[in-house]
Amino acid sequence: MLKPFLRRIFEHPGFKKALGGNLALLIVLGSFVPNTTTPVEAELTVVQEGNTPIATQKTVRYPLEGYVVTQGFSLFHPAVDLAAPFGSPIYPVKDGVVADISYSRFAYGNAVIIDHGNQVTSLYAHLAKIEVEKGQKVTTLTEIGKSGSTGHSTGPHLHLEIRNHGVPVNPFAVLPSPVSPI
């Protein structure tokens, strides 16, 4: 009794047009296929407390411990300037390799460029002292230099540029949000 009723519905031209003839056939045939799936048992793994050390590793960091933003990122200044006391240690924002070092009385002054891979580089300018060598591998814990006022500069600060495929990006878009004290 059910079969003639279903046949009338599935053979109706409006139903075939709405759902397509093949879909209707699959629905009818699928209702007669027996369920042959076998249940799968989940495997439970228990980790005892104290067996697994948990450590957080910073992959991106601020280059200075203490600073004041004196100039932000813009079309005419594709970097941020971070004022800090003269001689403050400067660290890379991310692990990488020192790609270039330059010493100049003009423009950037003493500067370091670090290649972070995937065509991402960072430039640290106006350094009082450079403490790395070209080709040296550096981590976020490696001190690359000291803040200063070399080149075209009005006071001790770090000029930080980050480039992705040669295009300047706002460093604050890459750096983690500053954590405010509780």
My answer on whether 96 and 155 are in the same domain is: yes
Q: Is the pTM of this model over 0.75?
A: no
Using an 8 Å Cβ cutoff, are 60 and 175 in contact? Answer: yes
Is residue 99, in this structure, part of any structural domain at all? yes
Check residue 3 and give left, alpha or beta (phi > 0: left; psi -120 to 50: alpha).
alpha
pLDDT of residue 180: 47
Has residue 56 been placed in a domain? Answer: no
Q: What are the φ/ψ torsions at residue 168 (nearest 5 degrees)? A: -65, 135
At what angle are helices 2-11 and 21-30 packed, to 10 degrees?
160
Q: Tell me the residue range of the domain where 100 lies.
A: 68-174
In the numeric block, the tokens 């878009």 are attached to 173
Q: Are residues 163 and 79 part of one domain?
A: yes
- Give 30's pLDDT tier (boundaries 50, 70, 90): low
> Does the residue 54 lie in any domain?
no
Find the distance separating the first CA and the last CA of the chain, reported in whole Å: 74
> Do residue 77 and residue 29 come from a single domain?
no
Secondary element (H or E) of residue 155: none
Which pLDDT band, with edges at 50, 70 and 90, does 36 fall under? low
Residues 74 and 129 in one domain: yes
- Over 80: is that where the pLDDT of 69 sits? yes
